[in-house]
Amino acid sequence: MASFNFVRLSEICNTEETALKFLQEHNIVHKERKCCKNYPMKLSFGVKIAWRCPSCKKNKGLRSDNWLESTRLPFLKIVRFIYWWSREMASVKFCQFELEIDDNTVVDWNNYLREVCAYVVMDCCVSKIGGEGLTVEIGECVFSPRKNYAGRVVPQQWIFGGICRETKEVFMVMIPDKSAEALCGVIREKVNEGSVIISDCWRGYMNSHDDDSFQQFTAKNKYYFVETSSGARNPKVRKAENGTHVQMPESYYLIEFLWREHIKKTKRDSFQAILEAIAQFMPPR
């Protein structure tokens, strides 16, 4: 697929019908459907676009059983929002003015796309990152997927993610809980020994009176830990030197950050990449 700028995209997608066709061509919504009696359905372009069966006269919504389930944003605005999000322009202020989307909808759609990013990064992870003389940043956040379009409610999950500053390799894993044991397991599994590991999250684990797993881990393993906040108590965790800071953002932005770093490393167009990711991880059922 060729790269798009907004002028070219606007030439291709300028109506609801052409935007729908664009989403179909990129395997985000169904290209064809069958009714409950297995008859082929046809798209009906009336007041409301829908799938209609000429034989049994039954209808199916265009958004049912695909990534757009339960959303209401017009197709044209969806395509344009995805484009501007991919170009890091999907702020609330920008989308309110340029796309005429309200602030709650902007937040929702940012989160929908970050959810896709999470699956991409978890799928692309190399076995381990970092190594002797290399610096690895790690961070944590809560991952809250929306209700699965198959009808399954997905519970919240803690996520640990990391990036090697020198190689730009990334990892991200879901864990059952936020505990020192879980953190140590992720480091052991995803980070090579000899790495300098930088994070803002050490303090919460080092100051735990109930679990000394982290302190035992740092004493027994060949990692070099740096914290950027104050209050380090473990001798193997040193305070960051002046000018050293964690570049990874906090909270849900962590997921998008790791995805964008992965895309930069692979030298892919961000718009193409997110469209392909939606089709791969959230295909129509």
pLDDT digits (tens, 9 = 90+) for 37-76: 999 999 988 778 899 999 998 899 999 999 999 999 999 9
Residue 1 domain-assigned? no
**Are residues 97 and 176 both part of a single domain?**
no
**Are residues 191 and 114 both part of a single domain?**
no
Residue 212 domain-assigned? yes
**Are residues 154 and 48 both part of a single domain?**
no
CB atoms < 10 A from the CB of 40, how many? 12
**Are residues 115 and 127 both part of a single domain?**
no
Q: Is the pTM of this model over 0.75?
A: yes
> Tens digits of per-residue pLDDT, 136-170?
999 888 887 775 555 555 677 888 999 999 999 99
Residue 235 domain-assigned? yes
Domain ranges, residue 160: 123-261
**Are residues 22 and 66 both part of a single domain?**
yes
CB atoms < 10 A from the CB of 120, how many? 21
Residue 107 domain-assigned? yes
**Are residues 78 and 150 both part of a single domain?**
no
For 96-105, 156-165, 249-258, which range has the lowest pLDDT when averaged over its residues?
249-258
Q: How many domains are contained in the chain?
A: 2
**Are residues 103 and 159 both part of a single domain?**
no
**Are residues 150 and 216 both part of a single domain?**
yes
